[in-house]
Amino acid sequence: PWKNELPKDLFSKPYYVPTSDGSGVPRKNLKKSKILLEKAGWNIQNGKLIKDSKEFIFEFLIISPSLEKIALAFQNNLKKLGITMQIRTVDSSQYQERLLNYDFDMISHTWRISLSPGNEQQFYWGSEVGKKPGSRNYAGIDSLIIDFLIEKLIGAKSRKELTTIMHAMDRVLLWGHYVIPMHHSNIDRIA
CA–CA dist 59, 55 (Å, integer): 13
Between 147 and 188, the more confident residue is 147
Mean pLDDT of 33-43: 96
Looking at residue 45, what is its pLDDT?
A: 94
Count CB neighbours of 82 within 10 A.
Answer: 19
Going by pLDDT thresholds of 50, 70 and 90, the confidence category of residue 190 is confident
Going by pLDDT thresholds of 50, 70 and 90, the confidence category of residue 118 is confident
Mean pLDDT of 65-91: 93
CA–CA dist 125, 22 (Å, integer): 31
pTM of the model: 0.84
Mean pLDDT of 102-115: 87
* Whether pLDDT at 97 is above 90: yes
